[in-house]
Amino acid sequence: MKDSQANPQPIQVKLLGPEAKAPHAIVDVAFLCDCTGSMGIFIDKAKDTVRKIVADIRAEYSDASIFFAFVAYRDHEDGNALLQLTDLTGDVESVLKFIDKLSAFGGGDEAEAVADALDAASKLSWRSDSVRQAVLILDAPPHGKEFAAASDSFPAGCPCGKDYKELLKRMHERDIKLLVLNFTPSVANMISIFVQHHPGVESVNIPNQQQPQPAALSPRFAGWGPTIFGSHAGGFAPGAPVFGGGSSSAGSGSIFGAAAPMGSTVGTTQQVQAAALMSQSISEAVCRNVGQKLGPATKR
Ligand SMILES: [Zn+2]
């Protein structure tokens, strides 16, 4: 359409004026992070991911209101440490402090309490009219024989009766997208099952020792724009804290080689690359979700 045809109401355009802004973006992002023994480096990287999401969204929507929640989950043998969480808040610093205090430990068998994490996610204070994104970061499947974990103390599923099917359905109904960061082939089965109950489930494969090929980002992330694909240093400061005293977990599902201690935040080059790709992938997905809901916003 030519400009002369596209502007039939010049008065309205004038009222909007040069101060018109991008749509006000209300964005809620919840991290659901497996915090058992093998996940230390990725917990640490979650802080960079939070910062990157804020920067990337604000680059497009300068007035965006971005809330974060963090749900750390482990397993049913881990007592009070089964779940540690902070609800959705716009106080990003408080979320970063929460992540700082987490450590990677526990886990027991390979399968972990993923259903409890989904349950916690469904109970977060999602804002009305928000763009909602949950991000599941894990390297082991849920309890339940259908997920085919290498070892599972609860093959009948979550021992406290949390039903992942119901929870996924509820998340879908509430338009909470779920991105799964898949570090290990042992989670592939879970993803194909989850998609059956929540069409908004997506996954990104993160390369690791068992998948040494450099993974191209999925084409579905294309088109958001260069701000999302900006370079990411991905390094860790010298003297970064090493969580815990090593893992009590047998870690049968560990994606990590022997080069780095379990629970360490100081990873091998490959782990650091995987963590950087994680950060980038999550931010791309969140921004794409925002873009789909609110339409593209040009940088102002
Ligand atoms: Zn449970």
**Interval between CA 45 and ligand 1 midpoint (Å):** 26
Q: Give percent above pLDDT 90 in the chain.
A: 50
Under 8 Å CB-to-CB from 228, ≥6 apart: which residues? 56, 221, 280, 283, 284, 287
C-alpha 295 to ligand 1 mean position (Å):
38
Determine the distance from the C-alpha atom of residue 17 to the mean position of all C-alpha atoms in its chain, rounded to a whole number: 38
Q: Which residues contact 291 (CB under 8 A, 6 or more apart)?
A: 60, 224, 297
Q: How far is the CA of 119 from the centre of ligand 1 (A)?
A: 9
The CATH architecture to which 26-294 belongs is: 3-Layer(aba) Sandwich (3.40)
Distance 132 CA to ligand 1 centre (A): 24
Residue 84 CA to ligand 1 center (angstroms) comes to: 13
State the pLDDT at residue 297.
67
Ligand 1 centroid–CA 122 distance in Å is 14
Q: C-alpha distances in angstroms, 108 versus 10, 40, 54, 140, 141? A: 66, 16, 35, 11, 13
pLDDT band of 142, cuts 50, 70, 90: very high
Residue 29 alpha carbon to ligand 1 centre in Å: 23
* pLDDT tens per residue across span 9-64: 554 444 444 455 545 899 999 999 999 887 887 888 899 899 999 999 999 899 99
Q: Is 222 a residue whose pLDDT tops 60? A: no
Q: How far is the CA of 102 from the centre of ligand 1 (A)?
A: 20
What pTM was computed for the model? 0.74
Q: How far is the CA of 72 from the centre of ligand 1 (A)?
A: 13
Ligand 1 centroid to 250 CA: how many Å? 20
> 7 or 223, which is more confident?
7
CA of 75 to the centre of ligand 1 (A): 8
Interval between CA 118 and ligand 1 midpoint (Å): 10
Q: Tokens representing 271?
A: 């782990």
In angstroms, the CA 297 to CA 85 distance is 32
Residue partners of 16: CB distance under 8 A and separation at least 6: none
Which pLDDT value is given to residue 171? 97
Residue 265 has pLDDT above 60, yes or no: no
Kindly report the number of other CB atoms within 10 A of residue 12's CB atom: 9
Does position 147 have pLDDT exceeding 90, yes or no?
A: yes
- pLDDT, one tens digit per residue, over 59-86 is 989 999 999 999 999 999 888 899 999 9
Nearest to 49 by CA among 270, 290, 291, 276: 276
Strand 201-205 versus strand 176-182 pairing type = parallel
Q: What single-letter amino acid sits at 10?
A: P
* Percent of the chain topping pLDDT 70: 71
* pLDDT score recorded for residue 293: 87
CA of 283 to the centre of ligand 1 (A): 29
226-259 residue pLDDT tens: 222 222 223 222 333 222 222 333 333 333 333 3
- CB neighbours of residue 3 within 10 Å: 6
Q: Among 106-115, 182-191, 240-249, which stretch is predicted with the lowest mean pLDDT? A: 240-249
Classify 71 as helix, strand or coil: strand
Q: Using alpha carbons only, what angle is made at residue 139 by residues 56 and 280, rounded to the nearest 5 degrees?
A: 15
Q: How confident is the model at residue 298 (pLDDT cuts 50, 70, 90)?
A: low
Distance between CA atoms of residues 259 and 249, nearest Å:
17
The domain segmentation of the chain, as residue ranges, is: 26-294
CB 88 within 8 A of CB 126: yes
| Interval between CA 34 and ligand 1 midpoint (Å) | 13
How far does Cα 104 stand from its chain's mean position? Answer: 17
Which is more confidently placed, 109 or 239?
Answer: 109
Query: 160 alpha carbon to ligand 1 midpoint, in Å?
Result: 5
pLDDT tens per residue across span 1-12: 444 455 555 544
